[in-house]
Structure 1
Amino acid sequence: MTRRMVRSFVACLTVAAGFAGIPQVQADPGMPPLPAQDPFYAQPDSLRGMGMGQVVDSRPIALTGVSAQAPLSAWQVKYVSQDTKGKPWTTMATVIKPSVPNPQAKLVSFQPWIDALDTRCNPSYQLRAGVPYQASTGMIAENGNLATFLDHGYTVVVPDYLGPENQFAAGYVEGRATLDGIRAAENFAPAGLNGNATPVGLFGYSGGARGTEFAAELAADYAPELKIVGSAAGGLPTDMGRSAEVMNGGPFGGINFSASYGIARAYPELNIPAYFNDPGLLPALSGMCQTQILGSYPFVPMQSKTVNGVWPLGDPQVQAVLDTLKAGHYGTPNAPLYLFMAEHDEIAVTEGTDALVDEYHRRGVDVTYVKYPGTEHVIAESVGSPAAITWVVDHLNAAN
């Protein structure tokens, strides 16, 4: 492990250790109720006749920890989407509107990284709960980027793109929920947008890059009516199977456990939980957000918690599913794409993005690709996000 990686890992562990006492079952007194205890999050009795992205319910909310310069109005919207296999359900998005909006109504779909199985780790809850809850997820690190888009006057939609079951690492749900969140925001009257004539930019890093990039791939077939003008994704894990091999037994190895159970939720027929020999593993993971997972399972190989030390993702049936979930397999982006990576990414695996960019060039995709020398996954977000945000802003400003 390089010194750079050690510094990044120590930072993650510091955050996780500092907030290890965050309640896992119920919120603190005075905090918003956890999603699992909040009737607003409940699935409707029926979704018959409802379209993807249709808003089922909404409520105004107060945001905590978003450092935008101007006052903000915000709402939670419950909207119709679907899981990885196409089963309809509802999930949440947070729609945020600056008090001084851009004269031409424009929308940013902002996907923070979640990488966890607990619904309290999703942005709809994190944006209300604030610190210390945001410190257990990527939200505390993402608020600066979110505020930058708001300071440009854009309305922003932040979807719970893993869905109500947090099917982490199951790519179709990540992309579809992102696109349906855009539909929901465009058809939500208080957002003041122009329906599907609204120019839309997308942004996400790491786990959020998956929702962003997969949405860009799916858009032409799944949501062709959307006016997407550009998508920027950084630290993109193009292949979770390959990422798992690289992370296994390393500082970020805890992600493998949450990803395995996320895939299991989307594909129960694979029976992935049967590979693990610790009955307490899933309950523990289901009560943690990402930094807590990292702090709880550093340098723990998956084989140390499996029956006979097997590699669960090596099962031919599991591998066949993972192959269908690789970036580039969902479709071809029909709008400009900006990708940025660390030179040596120990989570997302830079070589996978190299290959994806080459493939996109062969398909004729307008793709800009930037690699940052001397960086790894954590550092590359702070180094690369400003230029990526500027790219999205330029494409939105050029759109009519």
Structure 2
Amino acid sequence: MRLRTLLTTAALGAALAAPVLTAPQAGAAPPGCDATDAQIYAAPGAVAGNPGDLLACRPAKLTNIPGDVPMHAWKVRYVSTDAQGQKIAVSGTVAVPDAEWKGGGSRPTVAFNPGTLGSGLQCAFSKQLAGQYVDMYEGGNLQLMLKAGYAVAATDGVGYLDGQVHTYMVGANAGHALLDIVRTSRQIPGGTLKADGDVGISGYSEGGAAALWGAQLAASYAPELKVVGAAAGGVPGDLKLTAKQLNGSLFAGFLADALVGLHAAHPEMPFDDLMNDKGQQAIKDVKSNCLYGTLAVFLGAKVENFSKQGLSLDQIYALKGPDGTSWGDIVDRQRLGVDIGTPSSNAKYKIGFPVFQYRGWLEEIIPHETEDGTHAAYCSAGINTTWKNTYPTEHLSTDWGAAGDVTNFLGDRFAGKPAQSNC
């Protein structure tokens, strides 16, 4: 899919995407898994429990996964940890194929984070998979994984419960939520997943950043999980480089999502008071739209037009919060490939399993420099890294074009096959 096709799809999606008024019927819930939809997405309040603890679940019929793969699936609400170390509630989906696992050992699980879906509450991946809203593109990728026999634990990401805002591109939030839903998947009443099953991590674009954060945090945050590989594509590893390219571009909506999402994670930082009337409306637009609506609303938008003083990105980065932390400091914390190393290193983030990174040759949204730079950082750190940048695709279509390679890469890891780094 070339640029024109993506923009045409965006325009059609913005015009046509609409909520489905009735959710599909699911089978009878096992005891203890009978929450209502409202309970899954209710405002979190005080959250107790350990990371990954199951708070609520309900059976789901995933009508937006094509192919009628026989499976049992659930919407889940679970405990995770935010970037400040506080306990939070997160929603997501767990799907387990009905077909017997014949690969040896316990059935493996793919921890999956979708690409950008938008920040409106209706955009939650678990809602879209269940047909309650249609503005996403990942169903076919999950079909491949489920047909291969793998369970899928797909997080919505932080910020899709009532009254919340998605913390778009906040690395620790994304990585924690992705790892924790694997823990959750093993607690579903009547479920069959076991604690010794292998874990693979996968995501593209926003999901690719989340996948690498999950990979970087796995050893310290979830050491009991047997993570054997991670696949991440279209990764905006350096948000400052990415923001510079997005500002004023056809894809400025992604920058709007990031600015609002970062503020949702850091409400102590200056933001709302800086906005002019156009900026206040922009915040409302981000909070109410899904992917294609956001792209349409912010087509060609420049960040300088939304604040009272016409602040540039660099001027925003210089602004400081009450403790002296600047917006630039917070953005830099999200950079991937920093202080990473092998298990025998002294690095903060230790990765002891193979990683597959990829991008399309015709990539037009994420700067090549940051995708290539993240790959180079992993290679320099001695991490077993497979790199592929030869897909004849642009940003969105690379997600589909690489899906077979991603499934095969994780399948080889589940089968215990060695990975040959091509650094």
Task: State the TM-score, normalizing by the size of structure 2.
Answer: 0.84
The answer for the alignment partner of 2:327 in structure 1 is 318
Give the C-alpha shift of residue 331 in structure 1: 2.0
1:209-250 deviation line (CA, Å, top 9, x unaligned)? 121111001111111111011111110111222211101111
Distance 1:84 1:118, change over 3 A: farther
Q: Distance in 1 between matches of 2:391 and 2:130?
A: 36
AA in 2 matched with 1:173: N
1:161 counterpart (157, 162, 166): 157
Matches within 5 A, 1:325-336: 325-329=334-338, 331-336=349-354
The answer for the alignment partner of 2:80 in structure 1 is 81
Aligned pairs, number: 381
Q: Distance in 2 between matches of 1:247 and 1:183?
A: 36
* Greater CA drift, 176-185 or 323-332: 323-332
Q: Distance in 2 between matches of 1:258 and 1:127?
A: 21
The answer for the alignment partner of 1:215 in structure 2 is 214
1:176-234 deviation line (CA, Å, top 9, x unaligned)? 10011111113335331221x11011111111112111100111111111101111111
Q: Distance in 2 between matches of 1:313 and 1:377?
A: 26
Partner secondary structure for residue 63 of structure 2 = coil
Q: Distance in 2 between matches of 1:240 and 1:18?
A: 31
The answer for the alignment partner of 1:381 in structure 2 is 399
Give the C-alpha shift of residue 79 in structure 1: 0.9
Q: Is the 8 A contact 2:112 2:153 kept in 1?
A: yes
AA in 2 matched with 1:323: D
2:127 counterpart (125, 128, 133): 125
Q: Is the 8 A contact 1:102 1:152 kept in 2?
A: no
AA in 2 matched with 1:367: T
Partner secondary structure for residue 349 of structure 2 = coil
Give the C-alpha shift of residue 342 in structure 1: 2.0
Matches within 5 A, 1:35-74: 38-43=38-43, 46-48=46-48, 50-74=49-73
AA in 2 matched with 1:18: L
Distance 1:98 1:28, change over 3 A: closer
Q: Give me the CA root mean square deviation.
A: 2.3
Q: Distance in 1 between matches of 2:101 and 2:16?
A: 39
The answer for the alignment partner of 1:107 in structure 2 is 109
The answer for the alignment partner of 1:303 in structure 2 is 304
AA in 1 matched with 2:187: N
The answer for the alignment partner of 2:179 in structure 1 is 179
Partner secondary structure for residue 77 of structure 1 = strand
The answer for the alignment partner of 1:9 in structure 2 is 7
Distance 1:368 1:89, change over 3 A: same
The answer for the alignment partner of 1:232 in structure 2 is 231
1:42-83 deviation line (CA, Å, top 9, x unaligned)? 2566434x1110112211122212114432211112110022
Q: Distance in 2 between matches of 1:153 and 1:393?
A: 10
The answer for the alignment partner of 2:140 in structure 1 is 144
Q: Distance in 1 between matches of 2:36 and 2:116?
A: 17
1:134-193 deviation line (CA, Å, top 9, x unaligned)? 22xx3xx21111001111111111111234431111111011100111111133353312
Q: Is the 8 A contact 1:209 1:236 kept in 2?
A: yes
Give the C-alpha shift of residue 39 in structure 1: 3.0
Distance 1:204 1:320, change over 3 A: same
Q: Is the 8 A contact 2:108 2:197 kept in 1?
A: yes
Q: Is the 8 A contact 1:109 1:202 kept in 2?
A: yes
Q: Is the 8 A contact 1:246 1:346 kept in 2?
A: no
AA in 1 matched with 2:244: E
Give the C-alpha shift of residue 115 in structure 1: 4.7
Q: Distance in 2 between matches of 1:82 and 1:178?
A: 11
Distance 1:289 1:36, change over 3 A: farther
Q: Distance in 1 between matches of 2:240 and 2:3?
A: 21
**Structure 2 runs not aligned, ≥5 long:** 25-34, 319-325, 339-347, 418-423
Q: Distance in 1 between matches of 2:77 and 2:287?
A: 23
Q: Is the 8 A contact 2:285 2:297 kept in 1?
A: no
Partner secondary structure for residue 53 of structure 1 = coil
**Structure 1 runs not aligned, ≥5 long:** none
